[in-house]
Structure 1
């Protein structure tokens, strides 16, 4: 049996740990596209991580440590969106992705808090460490979700009692409410968790083999994890409304090649996908949506800042990327992107030089403002001792040593401790 654990309103629950007076009140945590990353002033309360990433969970995060006005208000405008909310807030129509301005109009008593991702990641890491002592094979799916394989550890008939006890112990030890679903397959277990949520169930929903079809078949197709808006529209065009309809359309899904076949078997519960304790990363990236910027000098300054943060991430993993990608989005939706693949000694300076060169090449709409920047590195291998052009090796080796030295200082005192002069101009 596989179980899926999903922390209820995780960010809001964490804020209630910090401030118990929020219990029972409509609470929401808001977010912005990090309005501080490009600031010229130095920040200390910032860090980067590759653990527990997911929707609304950035790899680079700023721990707000400030109030509503400091974080969300610019001039007369309230900026930002809701990234999670308590059930009390949801009962008033508050939804993830809603603008904070609209949320406050719908629920005037809503308490909207800036995000404190450092705190959320710490709570998640503590819970993961404890769960690893209770479940033999544990996979962290996101900052607030886990899969566990209980096969050979807990007999199927004892899983409901095990899950109930686990849920109670998590609340007692960590003060975090959690819902648990279980099923013979991974994605059906995640589907079952939805029925365990406080608005629908009592916190635990375990599906035994003979119960799966009756539970799954009547559900609408968009209830299944992984079926987004695009797939939903595509399926409904063929009059497929429920998961039962989808399971009866094997011939159609198989025509859609790998994504269709994968979806069919996940819904059917015979995908045999294992719970995986760790994943290899194919790429690491950082991107930001920004207010329209025409000034290319300012765009280059921001690219340099993004390179600094991305290089810090890569240093933490001791990896050597060979592929660098840069993508731009312009004010009217135009896009431009390109990547390069080459062998070189990686460092912050090496990344910056290549990204700026890419920018000069792909900035093809120079009369338009840029509204999004994205940089990623991939094609990783374990960093070797020596690899570079004979003509540039000594220069790249010197830059690599300097990068490691600055990385250790930044790790101790903050990413903004050492910056290039152009970032502050």
Structure 2
């Protein structure tokens, strides 16, 4: 028994340590510099409050997400900031992965099993290939997207899988998510409504945690959506271009279908989900219809995104998570003899999946090392320029797009764009331009 727990501890430690290494290797990018320049830890909480107030009126109503990043990212104490963010993010990733496994196996799965090996491979494959991992290594992406997603996973696990009630947990997470992100709010509320409707139709008890989460999330969501900054931001990004609702919906559908670098795996998971949910006799037809319609409708939450700017990986994070977990759950608990046979066959190939998992981890680590080495060399140039008093820099930079598995968002040749201005302010220069070298 002691040996079993020791192995579990080793696996858990390796997961956290490996992701901590990836976080350490990830350089600061874009909004990381802008948020750190606010320097809340050095200037006091009043600066954070003022910044959130300005953001609410002019840029975004994401109060809880903005508060977290203003509080944790500080220019003066950047070493401490990065240590805290990297550590929290690594632990969050472990919790996210572990609870996702517990959810798909209905809490019956064991870390020391072939089930976990196969799950780990597909987990890493899907979230690496969709750019999920690359985006949550980005400090801003982690704080403003991934941490909220992890909280949602925690609430789902304890309220639905474990069927435990905690008003405190529901109110706490609901309040954070309600003020966290418009997409998260809308998707969460839709899923809660689907849950309530399904429970009423099947005459089952509604969990108090979900009720508390729904109410607090809805209240926070009203405050978030009412923020004048949301509309100012979308208007600014869309350059004042006006289009009808139908045009925006058609644009969204077009982007989902014709941007395979971002949506191909998601589309495959959506198709797999619909096939499995309606062929699984373990799932009541009314339940299948309710959740299928809800998940389909949830995609149209992205209509404002499609109107203002192209789809990107971070706005799809919650959808990749939902459809991955839902599809895998249906595979694990399917009534079909063929699906069960296929799953057992995959388990027999556990050793092959271990090898393929290691290869994937190597690829992820290798690209992270490449970016880290590039950034270290550029930092040497920055230090040299500061020593000789140069205020207008021309630095090497990375191509705007390399692959869907990589998050770049580097400085650009244009000194006037936000990324360049934030970078220059952070390092104390007047202007920064760059020349693409890779």
* TM-score, with structure 2 as normaliser: 0.22
The structure carrying a bigger helix percent of its residues is: 2
* TM-score, with structure 1 as normaliser: 0.22
For CA contacts below 8 A with separation 6 or more, give which structure has more relative contact order: 2
